[in-house]
Amino acid sequence: MNEHNSALNDTEHMNVPTASLVSRVLIVTAVDVEKEAILRGLGDKAADMFDVIAAGVGPASAAAGTAAALALAAASASRLKAPAVASAPDLATAQGATAPEQPDAAQASAASTAPGLLAGTGLTSAYTLVVSAGIGGGFPGVADVGSLVVADAMVAADLGSQAPDGFLSVDELGFGSSRVAADAALAVRLRDALKRAGHAVSGGTAVTVSTATGTAETAAELLRRVPDAAAEGMEGFGVATAAQQFGVPALELRGISNAVGPRDRDAWRIKDALDALQAASSILREVLTS
Ligand SMILES: O=C(O)c1cccc(C(=O)CC[C@H]2O[C@@H](n3cnc4c(=O)[nH]cnc43)[C@H](O)[C@@H]2O)c1
């Protein structure tokens, strides 16, 4: 650790619990076509368990959109459970009205132990799982076009510094961590269920980049940095970082649209990737609740 580490970096090593009971899920895509594919897969009753948002392309939009959704949902859930003790009700009480209901003991206790950005706010998360989902590049030999990747970890593969001897990650620089682990138990469950349903699915690391890879050299360099890289996207680490800072477990799910390597936009099979994403979404409820 060094002096540049901010308070937010305290959450890097936070022990985010495994989502043993998944009750409400936030799914974050980059663009609307991904969101629509997922909603088609989830079916008519999606809204009783899932919220799906399109937060924009890239790690910054993904993190900002996810954090905003998590914060708004926590504040809204808290308002529904117990009115806050604020100045207006206090004035009303002083004038003879009934005192506002206090949070019950369980809620107060949960609030006092709330992790990360919710610590000390009196709020608890409304979500028990956050999923970064979308199309992505697949590393050749690991994740073919049209297949799925359910990641074991989300890594910001270009977060760091160039140096004469090569790339230095933020971890090596002492500025934090470029890796967020996925919820291991849920990742395995989802992969197993997808395999049983007849889908090609891989594990490994989903790398997040701000510039999509377009050369064989960059693909090779990414594999040097992240030897178990399976998929490349532009949002996973941002979504997972926001989830981690709210103490919520995360997953990343990618339908593979193209190979990571020399840029060949005409070869991208976006419909196949969206179809895979829709198929995976159609079994999500069962995987997360049974
Ligand atoms: O047309 C292009 O060459 C091009 C260059 C960069 C990005 C795009 C997108 O359409 C990105 C949108 C979306 O797709 C994900 N994605 C899909 N394949 C990859 C990839 O090989 N590397 C990184 N990201 C990929 C990404 O998560 C974006 O949200 C088009």
The pLDDT, as a whole number, for residue 238 is: 98
Give me the count of residues in the chain: 290
Q: Measured in angstroms, how far is the CA atom of residue 21 from the centroid of ligand 1?
A: 33
Residue 75: Cβ within 10 Å count: 15
Tell me the two tokens of residue 241. Answer: 């970082």
Reference 276, options 168, 208, 199; nearest CA is 199
Within 58-104, residue ranges assigned H as helices are 59-81, 87-94
Identity at 169, one-letter amino acid code: S
Tell me the two tokens of residue 275. Answer: 């179809």
The pLDDT, as a whole number, for residue 37 is: 98
What would you report as the CA-atom Rg of the chain, rounded to the nearest whole angstrom?
20
Reference 156, options 181, 179, 137, 138; nearest CA is 179
**234 within ligand 1 shell (Cβ under 6 A):** yes
Q: What atom of ligand 1 comes closest to residue 213's alpha carbon?
A: 22
Q: Are 260 and 140 in contact (CB under 8 A)?
A: yes
**What is the band of 5 on the pLDDT scale with cuts at 50, 70, 90?**
very low
Reference 20, options 115, 129, 117, 105; nearest CA is 129
pLDDT at 217 over 80: yes
pLDDT at 149 over 70: yes
**Mean pLDDT of all residues in the chain?**
86
Q: Measured in angstroms, how far is the CA atom of residue 259 from the centroid of ligand 1?
A: 11
226-280 confidence digits (pLDDT tens): 999 999 999 999 999 999 999 999 999 999 999 999 999 999 999 999 999 999 9
The pLDDT, as a whole number, for residue 77 is: 87
28 versus 104: the higher-pLDDT residue is 28
91-145 confidence digits (pLDDT tens): 333 333 333 344 444 454 554 567 789 998 889 899 999 999 999 999 999 999 9
Q: Measured in angstroms, how far is the CA atom of residue 58 from the centroid of ligand 1?
A: 9
The pLDDT, as a whole number, for residue 21 is: 58
3-state SS class at 28: strand
**187 within ligand 1 shell (Cβ under 6 A):** no
This model of the complex carries an ipTM of 0.91
The pLDDT, as a whole number, for residue 82 is: 56
In sequence order, which residues have a C-beta less than 8 Å from that of residue 226 and are 6 or more positions away? 155, 157, 205, 207
Q: Are 256 and 211 in contact (CB under 8 A)?
A: no
51-85 confidence digits (pLDDT tens): 999 999 999 999 999 999 999 999 988 877 654 44
pLDDT at 8 over 60: no
pLDDT at 288 over 50: yes
pLDDT at 209 over 80: yes
Q: What is the DSSP letter of 247?
A: T
Mean pLDDT of 209-235: 98
The pLDDT, as a whole number, for residue 102 is: 40
